[in-house]
Amino acid sequence: MPEPTVVRESETSPIALVRHTWIQVQRLLLRWVRDPVTLLETLIIPCLLLLMLDIVVGSPIQKFTGSDALYGSVPMVALVGALSGCIASGVMLGRERAAGLLARFWVLPVHRGSGLAARIIAEGCRIFGGTVVIIGFGMLLGFRFQQGPLATIVFFLLPVLFGLSFATLVIAVAVFTASSGLVEAITIVTSLLMFFSTGFVPLLAYPEWIQPIVRNQPMSVAVDTMRALSQGGPLAHPLTLTLMWSLGAIVVFAIPAAIGYRRASRR
């Protein structure tokens, strides 16, 4: 009898892209769950930071503004957790590049676009999961949603968009440099964004000359948007700026990230 014909799926087909992307998403999520540094940066440190802010500056801010400081600190810490996790993931990506893992995937019958697509999807899943944990911890401290279910859903999705824009930057840096130190140096940027944001202390607490910068920097507008979605207040202006910052970063860094990932995989 003639042997049955085996139909092999093309590695460039859309079905292969979906299947290979899903497999690599599972690989990345499993590796991050098993990595102590990623868990520390994504969950443990943000929760401890939120607790510290509530203990140290919660009461003074409430007396100064008349509203609970958690409505600024919970959004800020959720965003910080998203950014910190992106840096840990970027360091891990740099190590995979240096170890030749990306090059091994390149010579296997794997869809070329699945690697980068899997990282973006996995980052979104990680950020969403971390946001849920941080907000759950904030609710134990007294944080509440007061604007209805639709606003709550948007509140949870906003850190994902904000984090993915930052992840695009980190991936672009990680695939173009062999040094993890440069990726880790981005932590300085995230620290400055946190300390000079309206989620850390109210805008009026900053010197007048720096208030325009603090008011319009990416983390401040995202915090103001999330505050409006949870507690109430002006929404249109900060939401517009948040979308502009986030989508603008994705547009600027997406192509360098894709080109750099391809180059790193072929070495």
**Model confidence, pTM:** 0.89
Q: How many CA atoms lie within 13 A of 55 on its CB side?
A: 6
> When comparing pLDDT for 229 and 39, which is higher?
229
Taking a C-beta distance cutoff of 8 angstroms, is the pair 162, 220 a contact? no
Split at pLDDT 50, 70, 90, the class of 181 is low
Residue-wise pLDDT tens digits, 156-172? 999 999 999 998 988 88
3-state secondary structure of 197: coil
Quick one: how far is CA 123 from the chain centroid? Answer: 7
Sorted by where each begins, the domain ranges of the chain are 14-199+210-265
Split at pLDDT 50, 70, 90, the class of 180 is low
Distance CA 198, CA 191 (A): 13
Distance CA 15, CA 30 (A): 23
Residue-wise pLDDT tens digits, 48-105? 999 998 888 888 887 877 778 899 999 999 999 888 888 888 878 877 777 778 778 7
Residue-wise pLDDT tens digits, 114-167? 888 888 999 999 999 999 999 999 999 999 999 989 999 999 999 999 999 998
pLDDT at position 182 is 65
> When comparing pLDDT for 206 and 181, which is higher?
206
**What's the average model confidence in pLDDT over 35-44?**
81
Alpha-carbon separation of residue 158 from 69, 116, 122, 214 (angstroms): 20, 22, 16, 19
Q: Radius of gyration over alpha carbons of the chain, in Å?
A: 21
Distance CA 92, CA 98 (A): 10
Residue-wise pLDDT tens digits, 216-255? 999 999 999 999 999 988 899 999 999 999 999 999 998 8
Joined tokens for residue 42 = 């994504």
Please name the residues in contact with 136: beta carbons below 8 A apart, sequence gap of 6 or more. Answer: none
Residue-wise pLDDT tens digits, 90-106? 878 877 777 778 778 77
